[in-house]
Structure 1
Amino acid sequence: MAPGLLEQSADWLAQQRDQFLSSPVTYSRGNDSVVLNATKGQTPFEQVDEHGVVTTMRSQDFLIRASDLVLTGNQVTPEAGDKITETVGNVTSVYEVMSMQGGPPWRYSDPHEKTIRVHT
Structure 2
Amino acid sequence: MTDMLNQGLDWLGQMLTKHCSSQIIYRQDQIEVSINAVFAKTDLQLEDEHGISIRSFVWDFLIASAALGFEPQPGDTIVAEDKTFEVMNLSGDGCWRWTGPDRNMYRIHTKQI
- Fold shared by both chains (TM-score > 0.5): yes
Higher share in helix: 2
For structure 2, the 5+ residue unaligned runs are none
Q: How does 1:39-78 map to 2 (within 5 A)?
A: 39-70=38-69, 76-78=70-72
Which residue of structure 2 aligns with residue 14 of structure 1? 13
8 A contact 1:80–1:98 mirrored in 2: yes
8 A contact 1:30–1:82 mirrored in 2: yes
8 A contact 1:14–1:114 mirrored in 2: no
In structure 2, how many angstroms separate the alpha carbons of the residues matched to 1:35 and 1:5?
32
Asked if 1:80 is matched to 2:74, the reply is yes
For structure 1, the 5+ residue unaligned runs are 71-75
CA offsets 1:40-98 (integer angstroms, 9 cap, x no match): 0110111111111111110101111111112xxxxx221111111112xxxx1010011
8 A contact 1:45–1:100 mirrored in 2: no
Among 78, 101, 107, the alignment partner of 2:97 is 107
SS in 2 for 1:43: strand
Q: CA RMSD for the aligned pairs?
A: 1.3
Asked if 1:32 is matched to 2:31, the reply is yes
Which residue of structure 1 aligns with residue 109 of structure 2? 119
TM-score scaled by structure 1?
0.85
TM-score scaled by structure 2?
0.89
